Amino acid sequence: MQNTPIASRKQVAIYGNTNVGKSTLFNCIFEQNAAIVSEEKGTTTDPIIKAMELIPFGPIALIDTAGLKDDSILGKKRLKKTGEILNRTDFAIYVMDATEPDEKSYAKMAEQFQKRRIPHLLVLSKYRLAKESVLDRLQKTYPDALLMEAEERGSIAAIKKRLAEELSKLEEKEETILGDIVSAGENVVMVVPVDSEAPKGRLILPQVQLIRDALDHGIKCLVTRDTELKDALDSLTKVDLVVTDSQAFRKVDQIVPKEIPLTSFSILLARQKGDLKAYLEGIEAVSRLKDGSKILMAEACSHNVGHEDIGRVKIPNGLKKFTGKELTFDFVMSYDFPEEERLKEYDLVIHCGACMVNKKSVLSRIVLCEEANVPITNYGLILALFAGILDRATEKVRV
Ligand code: SF4
């Protein structure tokens, strides 16, 4: 669990106005002085992210964000970063100062949480200093709110307990990659080309995730290079699914008999991490592209050169060739993703497989695109379209 990457952990972010006790709560949950706690407004400039084990739930990334009502000079920059954190938050804790309750700010933020489907917990801080009548009214208005006092271990323990319970509910909803389309005991063949672009001596994360998911669900998997694929298929009496690297679609499509379903790692991840329906609708926008159309290529991590080649070179060139249009491309990486106004400039967003980030991050981007009325699709679907096998590559996964 200690080795769980930050992005694969549930992202728990603490929000609230400046000086309400967010960093105090962060420190109490983390039980170390990882964030600076100060009486000076706006001390937390950048979000602070710490990996921890939340017992009994498991690995989380705990995020301390900048204050929402920050009127200092750096306030705008801080708020932009807090907005980026919102896009990846799985669960939010909103801290409201019970001695000076700013319910308008809370209502505004609660609306954002609802819009992005982020469950949240309200914490009323400094409650022992609050007027009894005010606290009484707050507790009646927000019956689910938890009380917090830094020195009271019991109040912190109650917040941690509730947080673990809420996260466990989210975990139950987590979707499998393969387990709902292939049954236990069935055979999946995974095609991993080992060419100059493959990283030396290891598999990449989507391949590892798929193998693990197959093992978790009792699915037998055979991993092979494209060069041995035919032999591998011949060696099995029954093959229930072939999953390939999207870049080998054309070659693999020729080798795999038509009666065997075929898809790619990237399409399976698109289905598990995003919203395949939205991506499939998004791909229809390719036929509407014209000279001068603007495309945003979005990659969810600071990638290696191999990926750079797909996102920066292969897909842009392939799309120009496929459409016969003069297209322009912009590129964003990691958590950098434009807000609604800038998004509207684009005619299509093409997203990577998002193996390094959580489902929440991808869904937030899809919601942002929907609100900006910009179609979004993903690398795997585009590569299947180029190879002329979009229907075949998505048939098995449209469940
Ligand atoms: S997150 Fe995206 S860019 Fe990064 S390795 Fe995964 S698929 Fe590639």
What's the pLDDT score for residue 36?
43
Cβ(354) – ligand 1 distance below 6 Å: yes
Last residue of a domain, one of 142, 172, 202: 172
Residue nearest to atom 4 of ligand 1 (CA): 301
CA of 174 from ligand 1 middle (Å) equals 20
Q: How many domains does the chain have?
A: 3
Residue 177 lies in a domain: no
Query: Coil, strand, or helix at residue 11?
Result: strand
What's the pLDDT score for residue 32?
55
CA of 156 from ligand 1 middle (Å) equals 37
Domain identity same for 298 and 374: yes
What's the pLDDT score for residue 5?
66
Domain identity same for 242 and 294: no
Last residue of a domain, one of 268, 302, 331: 268
Residue 275 lies in a domain: no
Number of the ligand 1 atom closest to the C-alpha atom of 353: 7
Residue 19 lies in a domain: yes
Segments forming the whole domain that contains residue 223: 187-268
**Beta partners for 298?**
332, 351
Domain identity same for 255 and 218: yes
CB 70 within 8 A of CB 79: yes
Domain identity same for 70 and 100: yes
Q: What is the C-alpha to C-alpha distance for residues 240 and 336, in angstroms, rounded to an integer? A: 39
| Residue in this structure with the two tokens 């690398």, named with its chain if needed | 379
Cβ(50) – ligand 1 distance below 6 Å: no
Domain identity same for 296 and 261: no
What's the pLDDT score for residue 259?
95
Q: 382: domain CATH number? A: 3.40.50.11410
pLDDT tens-place values along the chain, 399 residues long? 456 666 668 899 999 998 899 999 998 988 754 454 444 455 555 688 888 888 888 889 999 988 776 666 666 666 777 777 888 899 999 999 999 999 999 999 999 898 888 999 999 999 999 999 999 999 999 999 999 998 888 999 999 999 999 998 876 556 789 999 999 999 999 999 887 777 888 898 889 999 999 999 999 999 999 999 999 999 999 999 999 998 899 999 999 999 999 999 989 988 888 789 999 999 999 999 999 999 999 988 776 545 558 888 999 999 999 999 999 999 998 778 888 788 999 999 999 988 877 787 888 889 889 989 999 999 999 999 999 999 999 998 876
Residue 130 lies in a domain: yes
Best residue among 303, 332, 358 to mutate for probing ligand 1, ranked by most atoms within 8 Å of CB: 303
What's the pLDDT score for residue 55?
85
Domain identity same for 140 and 38: yes
SS3 track for 69-134:
CCCCCCHHHHHHHHHHHHCCCCEEEEEEECCCCCHHHHHHHHHHHHHCCCCEEEEEECHHHCCHHH
Residue 152 lies in a domain: yes
What's the pLDDT score for residue 305?
47
Cβ(301) – ligand 1 distance below 6 Å: yes
Q: 69: domain CATH number? A: 3.40.50.300
Q: 220: domain CATH number? A: 3.40.50.11420
Cβ(269) – ligand 1 distance below 6 Å: no
Domain identity same for 195 and 319: no
Phi-psi region of 16 (alpha: psi -120 to 50; beta: other; left: phi over 0): left
What's the pLDDT score for residue 341?
84
CA of 97 from ligand 1 middle (Å) equals 40
What's the pLDDT score for residue 30?
82
CB crowding 80-93: b at 16 or more within 10 Å, else e: eebebbbbbbbbbb
Residue 361 lies in a domain: yes
Number of the ligand 1 atom closest to the C-alpha atom of 333: 3
Domain identity same for 165 and 238: no
Structure tokens at 320: 């120009």
CA of 303 from ligand 1 middle (Å) equals 6
CA of 281 from ligand 1 middle (Å) equals 22
Domain identity same for 17 and 161: yes
Residue 280 lies in a domain: no
Residue 178 lies in a domain: no
Domain identity same for 105 and 253: no
- From first CA to last CA, the distance across the chain in angstroms is 32
Number of the ligand 1 atom closest to the C-alpha atom of 206: 6
Domain identity same for 289 and 378: yes
